[in-house]
Amino acid sequence: IAVVSTTVGAAPNNVCHVDSTPGVCISTADCSKLGGTSHSSTDLCADSAGSDCCVFVDADNDNEHVARACAPPRVNSATISLIKEFEGFVKSPSPDPIGLPTVGFGHLCKSKGCAEVPYKFPLTEANAGKLLQTDIKSFTKCVSDNIKDAVKLNANQFGALSSWAFNVGCGNVKASALVARLNRGEKPNTVAAEELPKWRLAGGKVLKGLVRRRAAEVKLFKTASSAIAHPPKCS
């Protein structure tokens, strides 16, 4: 087995580098579909679990490497503020309203004592914010992957759906009438206003906090923005 040493560096927003060549953090399967080459390393794509650094060779110039992938943008500050408001800040792992262990701003513990969290407890708000920025990535990807490119969403609309996905989980997003209606071409504002409020149950009970959160998400969704977040830009 030949082992090749490469210099690898990861950066925010799913950007990575292999020997100074820019790439993007996506799954090996997606990289292959796009015609790229995957590179793995323990230091590579540290903030993107299950991803490798995918690099591409420009067909017009064999010496030119470019990252070409359609990755969703980071959610805007209004979205982060909304999530923080409704998740609340928890310094150390504690049960949420339905008994699930969480920490920070809604991070659902994946192991005993939230051992996967790379920060010391009790968390500072700054580190909890960093954890949230990492956690939200899989949910923005979920929203982007399951909504057709024909559906145009501005940054506030995309952010509202990302907050909803963060709260209800990707499985529910995929199976939702909300996504199905958007993909059928129905008016986004109408769909959001009618479908988001339905997601108010937790543990089989209507929670006032969820009712308020859905109302806030609808309000954000309907807030005009000139920034387009979906379909994602390909670079």
Decide: 215 and 179 in contact? Cβ < 8 Å: no
Which residues form the catalytic set? 87
200 close to 210: Cβ distance less than 8 angstroms: yes
Q: Burial level of 112, CB count in 10 A (0-12/13-18/19+)?
A: exposed
Strands (E) located in the chain? 8-11, 15-18, 21-26, 37-39, 52-57, 65-66, 90-95, 101-104, 107-108, 153-154, 201-202, 205-206, 228-230
Q: What is the DSSP string of 77-97?
A: HHHHHHHHHHH--EEEEEE-T
CA atoms within 13 A on the CB side of 211: 4
Helices 208-221 & 155-168 angle (0-180, nearest 10): 160
Distance separating alpha carbons of residues 232 and 81, to the nearest angstrom: 22
